[in-house]
A and B are shown apart, each in its own frame.
Chain A
Amino acid sequence: MTEHVGRQAGRDVRPSQWERTTRDRLIAGEEGALNEIYDQFSSFVYGLALRVIGDARAAEDVSQDVFVSVWERPGAFDPDRGSLRTWLGTLAHRRAVDHVRREEARRRRAIKDAARPVSTPDVEEMAMALVTAERVRSALETLPDEQRRAIQLAYFGGKTYRQVAEVLGIPEGTAKSRLRLGLRRVADVLETETVARSE
């Protein structure tokens, strides 16, 4: 599967053959393709939704919505504009944030669960994903505190940049800037480490 070897996790260049084929199979209505993307990405989608919403039931609903929406409109995913992971992550995050902002009362439950082994059709993508997630975790640690805090409030807290500014007691322009600079640094790390690995 030389196509997978050539594909760089974390870089939105050159979609894998698996993604293109999977998209075509989804468009053709092959249920097996839905099964496969579920196996590949359900932990990603669910974990992200849960972290933002803080409620397992709602996180399940959001996860369901994301996969059903990809099943209904697979043509909306454009492999040339970004990876399937990024696409699913964007769908999941938007819905999770919408949920958070719509709810007036938020219940938080502490969820402790051991990671369960899951079969992943695209084994290489999954292996690279685990490594990349670790790298991103470290990259977040090395960000200036102010940038990391702003990003966490915005991304996981579901806050707008104005709310971030309010919470942190900083001007709105500073909030925008911290979000942008922090994200750029993470993007840089993603690209640097893939270049290093290809050498």
Chain B
Amino acid sequence: MSTDDTMLDELLGAYALDAVDTDEAVAVEEYLERAPDAAHEVARLRNAAAWIGATEALAPPPELHDTVLEAARSRRAVHNDDPFLGAYLSETGRFDATLDTLDDGALDRPTFNGLTVRELVIHLAAMESAVASTIGRPTAPDVTETDIERRTAQLVDRFRDRPLRDARALWRSSVDAVRQWAVAESSAADVPLFGLTFSRDSLLVTRAFETWTHADDIRRALGRPEEPPPAEVVARMADLSITTMPAALEIAGRAHPGKTARIVLTGDGGGDWLIPFGFAPVGETPDVVLTADAIAWCRCVSERLAPDALPREVEGDPALADDLAAASSAFATL
């Protein structure tokens, strides 16, 4: 065992008691990913810590019960019959939770697209407030810039010397605005945004998709493992990405009129689709069958996985499979 591992072992007790700082927690968590014995010890120690906490159990004021239920209801509707809003709330909720875990030292770390963690949060606030504006519920009415990069730059400037919670508050109020709109709005609504037109349902899934992408950008910047969304959310993202593939192929200049592709996504949220290779009717026999993991496909769609790096099984013409992988990210923005 290396000296570093010995030092990390010595931290396990402090880690289980949350008595380390962020950098140390990140280092321990990385260690736990590759050292099963250490992971087992931490599980034991966390359990012991929880029981130490239990020695102080005390019934809360009775009013807390209703407060909690109301807060929960407002954050996540019972969405068995509304998987689109469910996807949006799932990913914004998870992003919010990631923000809880940031300390000041984390904010200046660079992320995938060159923005720092702090700038990335501001960027999401810029995006979400732009959506709120477009649906008629502006949360930053004095910011009229609609170009993504310029809007982000404007808000980065505005929030430069302010604590992150200010940008987070703008993002949260924008999420609330979108949620309230979504609850009231039917699926048929048409929303023009960033040069495209979205239905209510596809807008919610697109926002969920971007929010998840950036949450993982932040986790990666902090050296933490990526966290895929729940299966039902992956299913909505995968479905949206594939139903827009014909358009994506056209935009990417990789359409093949008359040809048909079958895309099989495996794992949580996977599915099986038959699509035309562009704006043409779909044929019955696929010219290519591309099989890939659903989450890896979604990473490819969001440009977090390069097309040639997408692990895949192909039946038929591999060049057509390459076209599919390459075109998948045609709609990816920042």
Using a CB–CB distance below 8 Å, which chain A residues touch chain B? 10-12, 27-31, 34-35, 38, 42-44, 46-48, 50-51, 56, 59-60, 63-64, 67-69, 71-73, 75-76, 81-83, 85-86, 88-90, 92-95, 97-98, 111, 113, 115-116, 118, 129, 132-133, 136-137, 140, 151, 154-156, 158-161, 164, 173, 175-177, 179-184, 186-187, 190-191
Q: Is the CB of B65 within 8 A of A90?
A: no
Chain A positions within 8 Å of B56 at CB level: 47-48, 50-51, 156
**Residue of chain B at shortest CB distance from A111:** B58
Label chain A's interface by main secondary structure.
helix
**Contacts A140-B52, A154-B14 given: A98-B76 contact, CB under 8 Å?**
no
Q: Point out the residue from A93, A95, A151, A175 that lies within 8 Å of B100, measured CB to CB.
A: A95
| Contact A64 B45, beta carbon cutoff 8 Å | no
Q: Report the bound CA distance from A76 to B65 in whole Å.
A: 22
Q: Is B79 an interface residue (CB 8 A)?
A: yes
Closest Cβ of chain A to B103, distance in Å, is 8
Contact B10 A28 (CB under 8 A): no
A10 touching B47, Cβ below 8 Å? yes
Residues of A within 8 A of B158 (CB): none
Which chain B residue lies CB-closest to A69? B97
State whether A179 touches B17 (Cβ < 8 A).
Answer: yes
Residues in B neighbouring A151, C-beta threshold 8 A: 17, 52
Complex CA distance for A116 and B227, rounded to whole angstroms: 39
CA distance A38 to B73 in the complex (A): 14
B225-264 CB contact bits vs A (8 Å, 1 = yes)? Answer: 0010010000000000000000000000000000000000
Instruction: Flag if A35 contacts B58 (CB, 8 Å).
Output: no
Interface of B, helix, strand, loop or mixed by DSSP: helix
Residues of B within 8 A of A59 (CB): 60
Taking the nearest CB of chain B, how far is it from the CB of A20, in angstroms? 16
Contact A29 B54 (CB under 8 A): no
Closest 7 CB pairs of A and B: A180-B13, A89-B50, A47-B58, A72-B93, A46-B60, A179-B13, A154-B19
A115 touching B18 by the CB < 8 A rule? no
How far is the CB of B14 from the nearest CB of chain A, in Å? 4
Residues of chain B having any CB pair with chain A under 8 Å: 10-14, 16-21, 43-62, 64-65, 67-69, 71-73, 75-80, 86, 89-90, 93-94, 97, 100-101, 227, 230
Tell me, in angstroms, the Cα distance from A97 to B75 when the chains sit together: 24
Q: How far is the CA of A31 from the CA of B69 in the complex (A)?
A: 8
B145 → chain A closest CB, angstroms: 31
- How many Å lie between the Cα of A132 and that of B93 in the bound state? 34
Contact for B64 among A28, A64, A98, A186, CB less than 8 A? A64
A-B contact pairs, 9 of them (CB 8 A): A60-B61, A63-B68, A68-B72, A90-B49, A179-B17, A180-B14, A187-B44, A187-B45, A190-B47
Measured between alpha carbons, how far is A100 from B19 in the docked complex, in Å? 12
Q: Which of B72, B80, B100 has the most CB of A within 10 A?
A: B72
The answer to whether A132 touches B60, judged by C-beta atoms less than 8 angstroms apart, is no
User: Are the CB atoms of A93 and B10 closer together than 8 Å?
Assistant: no
Q: Is the CB of A176 within 8 A of B11?
A: yes
A48, B54: Cβ atoms closer than 8 Å: yes
| Residues from chain B with Cβ under 8 Å of A164 in the complex | 19
Interface contact A44-B64, CB-CB below 8 Å: no
Given A95-B100, A180-B10, are A161 and B19 neighbors across the interface (CB < 8 Å)?
yes
Q: Which of A63, A89, A191 contacts B60 (CB 8 A)?
A: A63
A71 contacts B51, C-beta separation under 8 Å? no
Closest to A11 in B: B47
Residue from A67, A72, A94 within 8 A of B89 (CB atoms):
A72
Complex CA distance for A28 and B101, rounded to whole angstroms:
26
A86 touches B47 (CB 8 A): yes
B54 contacts A183, CB within 8 Å? no
Q: Which residue of the partner chain B has the closest CB to A160? A: B19
What is the distance, in angstroms, from A161's C-beta to the closest C-beta of chain B?
4
In angstroms, Cα B108 to Cα A120, docked, is 45
A32 to B: closest C-beta gap in Å: 11
Interface centre among A10, A111, A151, A179 (most CB of B within 10 A): A179
